[in-house]
Amino acid sequence: MSLPGTLGAMCGIVGYVGPQDARDVVLEGLRRLEYRGYDSAGIAVVADGRLSSVKKAGKLANLEKLLAEQPLPAATVGIGHTRWATHGGPTDRNAHPHLSADGSVAVIHNGIIENFASLRAECEKNGVEFRSDTDTEVATHLLAAAYAQAAEGPGRLADAMRAVCRRLEGAFTLVATVATEPDTLVAARRSSPLVVGVGDGEYFLGSDVAAFIAHTREARELGQDQVVEIDRHRGLTVTDFDGGAVEPKAYTVDWDAAAAEKGGYDRFMLKEIAEQPKAIADTLLGRLGPQGELVLDEVRLSDQELRDIDKIFVVACGTAFHAGMIAKYAIEHWTRIPVEVELASEFRYRDPVLDRSTLVVVISQSGETMDTLMALRHAREQKARVLAICNANGSTIPRESDAVFYTHAGPEVAVASTKGFLTQVVACYLVGLFLAQVRGVKYEDEVSAIVADLRRLPEAVAEVLAGMAPVRELARSLAGANTILFLGRHVGYPVALEGALKLKELAYIHAEGFAAGELKHGPIAVIDEGTPVIVIVPSPRSRESVHDKVVSNIQEVRARGARTIVIAEEGDDDVVPYADHLIRVPRTPTLLAPVVTTVPLQVLACEIADTRGLDVDQPRNLAKSVTVE
């Protein structure tokens, strides 16, 4: 349940305990996590028996400038935060860290504390004066009070954190430090991301591993409703909220710091678009067995359980929802199992009919998308089996699912998803093929033939990318448009929706995607002289002459003055007379075509936004992952 007037959020959290200067480590971590929130930023360190903190509204550069003017003391313990606002506007006073009344306790927070209003009233009744509009400050004052009451000695701050967490409702990650314990950090998580990095005599906390990947690849998973205490001398201790000991799962991060850098590109998004051939190839890697059969080791459901499935729901948000729409066409065609595609934010509220024979496929790039997580939990309550498609190893959604298919897109820093989307689509194809294989709907040689087509996709995407210079030139001519429409049929329809979403996200232009067959049922009325209309044309080899119908749609909009921009495969000459601008893509099997037809739309949106002088990597009002409902 979300609070009135709040927005979904994702914030960047960094913590450090060790021999290095905490100021430098934390600030470096915040730079890597700024994509998670850029409304404000702040740092607190413990030195000489006191807490020192600096915070500032706006992007991280504002904080760095302030730190140059008001330097913090050298320290071996520090915490940092980059914020995407929920409770309270993006102001200096609402920036994290939040300090207790006496300045001895500092807290940073990601998520929403849903019962903050009653807890704030309780604090105010006890004489606490609030200095911000945030729910985080409630946790800070509660923690300070609990710390004052906790028994002195090792584990005191962790005891206080557990006591506070048992009172909180909602989704949260909390990280705290206290002036009287200069070698200790304590953190807690419920339905909000947090990972621990383990180095040589040092420890790190982060919203994701990018915060500490420059220092260590060794990480620990922090599970649901757990508290971690990090002490420079006593090491790492994890418990549940009731104090029961937990052994955290260790894993090694399989990408390095260079993967999170721009690699010579002007924008992270440009780099990530260029990385798509490799990301697709990595997602396909190791999926085919010695006899040509598909092997998905991470799918922890038995063959019999998969044979028992009689209905599939694909549940996702935003771009991942469009991947799910594409999945429906492929999975139904290959398996003959009915598939419904649902927005995660609507799924559980309409009381869907689920049972043990239902497979719910949840798609989330971050593995922390709160709407999708809550849909997953609802599905499991109804005894449905859940398979997660995710890019983030060890994140909440895969951990709470019955099975998982990890994409291998690598880190995606730009807020608008590109390689994350294409690898989700490829993962959906592989899941559909695996189901068809297990259920005996397709023979191994048929599966192998489709996998061979999939393996040609990286080369096809690379070919598309090599020919994007005319698309960038076209984009610059469209930068002044007020409205751009997208049309598609069959698998081209979700591609049209994704193209429109990218343009809205990046360029702030009104854009809509339509099923081309619906054109005459209303949308054609908005077409005026010069209105750009982008049409994704299916292959002439597609079923039931849908290609010819789309060519007719192009003629219809052109007759009404539209400026037609046509994406069609090589060799399709039928579209030439009706295209003001023609973008060619390699010939690809119909169901797999979205992987190549999406790429020009990504480039187009990115270039239009750049021409308009906008921040491509960090669009206004958006965050990388929505981690509250």
DSSP E strands, 241-292: 245-246, 250-252
Which of the four pLDDT bands, split at 50, 70 and 90, describes residue 263? low
Asked if residue 142 has pLDDT above 80, the reply is yes
The single-letter code of the amino acid at 19 is P
Pair of tokens at residue 606: 């990115």
Mean per-residue pLDDT of the chain: 91
Q: Is the pLDDT of residue 104 over 60?
A: yes
12-252 and 463-618 share one CATH topology?
no
Q: What's the pLDDT band for 8 if we cut at 50, 70, 90?
A: very low
Q: Within 13 A of 65's CA, how many CA atoms are on the CB side?
A: 8
Give the C-alpha separation, 96 to 111, whole Å: 13
**What average pLDDT does the segment 487-495 reach?**
97
pLDDT digits 0-9 by tens, 540-551 = 887 667 999 999
Q: Distance between CA atoms of 320 and 423, rounded to whole angstroms?
A: 10
Is-contact 127 203, C-beta < 8 A?
Answer: no
Taking 80 as the threshold, does the pLDDT of residue 293 lie above it?
no
**Could you state, in order of their start, the residue ranges of all structural domains in the chain?**
12-252, 262-455, 463-618
Rounded CA-CA distance 452/301 in Å is 25
Q: What is the pLDDT of residue 295?
A: 80
Report the run of H or E that residue 198 belongs to, with start and end. strand 195-198
Rounded CA separation 105/156 (Å): 13
Residue in 42, 49, 50 with CA at minimum distance from that of residue 23? 42
For residues 86 and 457, which has the higher predicted lDDT (pLDDT)?
457
Percentage of the chain lying above the pLDDT 70 cut:
95
CA gyration radius for the chain?
A: 25
The neighbour count for residue 383, using CB atoms within 10 Å, is 11
Tally DSSP H helices, then E strands, for the chain.
19, 25
Over range 124-139, report the average pLDDT.
95
The pLDDT score that the predictor gives to residue 285 is 84
CB atoms closer than 10 angstroms to residue 402: 18
Peptide bond into 19 cis (omega under 30): no
d(CA 232, CA 182): 9
CA-closest candidate to residue 475, choices 362, 586, 610, 593: 610
Rounded to 5°, angle at Cα 181 from 178 and 183: 110
Distance from C-alpha of 456 to C-alpha of 425, rounded to nearest angstrom:
15
**Is the confidence at residue 604, as pLDDT, over 70?**
yes
The pLDDT-based confidence of 288 (bands split at 50, 70, 90) is confident
Residue among 402, 392, 410 nearest 361 (CA): 402
What confidence category does residue 235 fall into, taking pLDDT thresholds of 50, 70 and 90? very high
Give the CATH superfamily of 262-455: Glucose-6-phosphate isomerase like protein; domain 1 (3.40.50.10490)
pLDDT of residue 9: 46
pLDDT in tens, 313-367: 999 999 999 999 999 999 999 999 999 999 999 999 989 999 999 999 999 998 9
pLDDT at position 260, please?
60
- Name which residue leads in pLDDT, 192 or 460: 460
Return the pLDDT at 629: 65
Where does the pLDDT of residue 3 fall: very low under 50, low under 70, confident under 90, or very high at 90 and above?
very low
Rounded CA separation 293/314 (Å):
24
Q: Where is pLDDT greater, at 522 or 163?
A: 163
Is 72 within 8 Å of 45 (Cβ atoms)? yes
Mean pLDDT of 291-317: 88
Edge-to-edge strand ranges of the sheet holding 195-198? 50-57, 40-47, 77-83, 12-17, 203-206, 195-198, 218-221, 250-252
DSSP 320-385: HHHHHHHHHHHHHHHH---EEEEEHHHHGGG-----TTEEEEEEESSS--HHHHHHHHHHHHTT-E
- Distance, in Å, from the CA atom of 16 to the CA atom of 204, rounded to the nearest integer, reads 5
| CA atoms of 581 and 575, how far apart (whole Å) | 10
CB-based burial, 50-83: b 16+ in 10 Å, e otherwise: ebbbbbbbbbbebbeebeeeeebeebbbbbbbbb
List residues bridging with 170 in a β-sheet.
Answer: 113
* CATH homologous superfamily for the domain 12-252: Aminohydrolase, N-terminal nucleophile (Ntn) domain (3.60.20.10)
CA angle 365, 369, 370 (to 5 degrees): 170
**Inter-residue contact 586 to 570 (CB < 8 Å):** yes
Predicted confidence at residue 27, as pLDDT, reads: 97
Whether 307 has a pLDDT exceeding 90, the answer reads yes
Helices 419-438 and 444-455 pack at an angle, to 10 degrees, of 170
Active site residue 624: yes
Question: How confident is the model over 366-380, as pLDDT tens digits?
Answer: 898 999 999 999 999
Average of per-residue pLDDT across 377-406: 92
Q: Is the pTM of this model over 0.85?
A: no
SS3 state of residue 171: strand
> DSSP string of 95-123?
SSPEE-TTS-EEEEEEEEETTHHHHHHHH
Q: Decide if 547 contacts 539 (C-beta within 8 A).
A: yes
Q: Give the per-residue pLDDT at 543.
A: 65
CATH superfamily label, 463-618? Glucose-6-phosphate isomerase like protein; domain 1 (3.40.50.10490)
Q: Is 317 a catalytic residue?
A: no
Nearest C-alpha neighbor of 609 from the set 495, 490, 486, 509: 509
Give φ, ψ of 227 to 5 degrees: -120, 135
Nearest partner of 324 among 451, 424, 231, 184, judged by Cα: 424
Q: Which amino acid is at 502?
A: K
Q: 3-class SS at 453? A: helix
pLDDT confidence bin for 258, thresholds 50/70/90: low
Residue 261: predicted pLDDT: 63
Query: What pLDDT, on a 0 to 100 scale, did the predictor assign at position 5?
Result: 27
